[in-house]
Amino acid sequence: MGKPDEQTTGPAEVDSGRRHFLKSAGYAAVATGAVAMGGLGAAAEAAADGRRPKKPAEKVVVPTEPIGSIPRPAHLIQANRDFAAGRITRRELDQHREQALRDTIERFIETGSPVITDGEQSKPSFATYPVAGLRLNPGGQVVPFADGHTRQLPLLTEGDFRYQAHGADYLRETRAVLKTIRSKAELPVKQAVIAPSMLSMFYPPLGIRGYSRAQFHEDLVNEAEADVRGSLDAGAHKVQMDFTEGRVSLKLDPDGGMLREFVSLNNEVLDRFTPEERQRIGVHTCPGGDQDSTHSADVDYARFLPRFFDLHAGNFYLQMASERDRRSVLALVREHIKPNQRVFVGVTDPITSRVETPEEVRDRVLEAAEFIPLGQLGTCDDCGFAPFADDKSTPRDTAFAKIRARVLGTRMAAERLGA
Ligand SMILES: [Zn+2]
């Protein structure tokens, strides 16, 4: 193939071959919402009087979404520390958060990202916002990362378990800021929430006097449902359950019992939603991402993905860019994805400092399109850029540059696939 960007006949022929492959394999290109509606109407009319339906004009759309977190600016990291040490008031901390949120939203808009997040500026971490402020025991599960550092989960000390913050709280703050930015009030916002399976590890192994595991389980499922439903009701474009503990669970319990329990618990929550609602709910898997290191990249996707696609969600956000053998993972996805599921493949790697070029991203999307029907394909970043608030390993500029590459590269691929 020639230089990817050149409009020569060579690449065009390759593309036409690819399209032929996609179509012959039953992979119809997805139409835009409006065209699809018109197309379906025309098809139904034609079917009624026996004519062959007129082929609607096709435009390939490959949706692209962020995962969630953006590194916090230095002033917010310092303010979090100062607040924890009692040096500043809650009001002062909130001012830092609001300033960081506004800057994050403005920079997100500049990337051209069709869907944005709040960058989780106000969350202490992707996993612990529901318990922030509770009386906790620090002695929970230790999660070791490949570079030698660890994170330790907290343990609850009392019931009844109630989330201290919900996704909708963050979403409303984001919407309030968007309303002040001309013409951006309606920009789609995605809300990340933590999977109940992660929080299930916060119940102490020895139990809590007067608050049984069964009671905790019931509270947890109710609260996790409220977290998702509140975000849906507040107008989230998508609600994404972060399920980073899925893959690492196969390290903690190689027999897979823990993973089965996690999937079953998460499905208990997902089953409380209608199939239509589940099309706006997603689940994210990754090998962890903290201080430019991972905790479970060495766990073979082949052991994890079949169970992952058992989750009753409509959208699946997969770390993929940093996989060593992407084609074999894509083949696994093709094998296990179900008809009502869309997979968003990671095309940028938050762990590496080098910013991907849009052309690299485009080629990763084209590669994925060889395996995944276009109507079920989307792109995302491999993970959030700073799931923990104190993680300074990635500069904000790098995160936004990678997001811009994802957006541009995905658009380039969609144009190539629809040409
Ligand atoms: Zn992640």
pLDDT tens digits for range 199-247: 999 999 999 999 999 999 999 999 999 999 999 999 999 999 999 999 9
Please say if the pLDDT value at position 9 is more than 50.
Answer: no
273-330, pLDDT tens digit by residue? 999 999 999 999 999 889 899 999 999 999 999 999 999 999 999 999 999 999 999 9
Whole-number Å distance, alpha carbon 388 to ligand 1 midpoint, is 11
- Position 42 scores a pLDDT of 39
Give the Å distance between the CA of 133 and the centre of ligand 1. 24
CA–chain centroid gap for 384, Å, is 8
State in Å: Cα 286 to ligand 1 middle.
5
Q: Over 50: is that where the pLDDT of 6 sits? A: no
Whole-number pLDDT of residue 355? 98
Residue extents of the structural domains in the chain = 8-59, 64-418
- CA–centroid distance, 69 to ligand 1, in Å, is 9
Question: Distance (Å, rounded) from C-alpha 269 to C-alpha 196?
Answer: 8
Distance (Å) from CA 222 to ligand 1 centroid: 24
Q: What is the pLDDT of residues 400-415, one digit of tens each?
A: 999 999 999 999 999 9
* pLDDT at residue 10 in the model: 36
Percent of the chain with pLDDT strictly greater than 70 = 86
Evaluate if residue 5 carries a pLDDT over 60: no
Least confident interval from 20-34, 124-138, 152-166, 186-200? 20-34
- Beta-carbon neighbours within 5 Å of ion ligand 1: 286, 383
Ligand 1 mean position, distance from CA 198 (Å) = 13
Task: Pick the range with the lowest mean pLDDT from 53-67, 77-91, 239-253.
Answer: 53-67
Q: What is the spatial distance between Cα 67 and Cα 349, in angstroms, rounded to a whole number?
A: 12
Residues 291, 297 contacting (CB under 8 angstroms): no
Query: Which H or E run contains 46?
Result: helix 33-48
The tens digit of pLDDT for each residue in 354-412 reads 999 999 999 999 999 999 999 999 999 999 999 999 999 999 999 999 999 999 999 99
E strand residue ranges, 251-394? 281-285, 315-318, 342-348, 377-381
CATH no., domain 64-418? 3.20.20.210
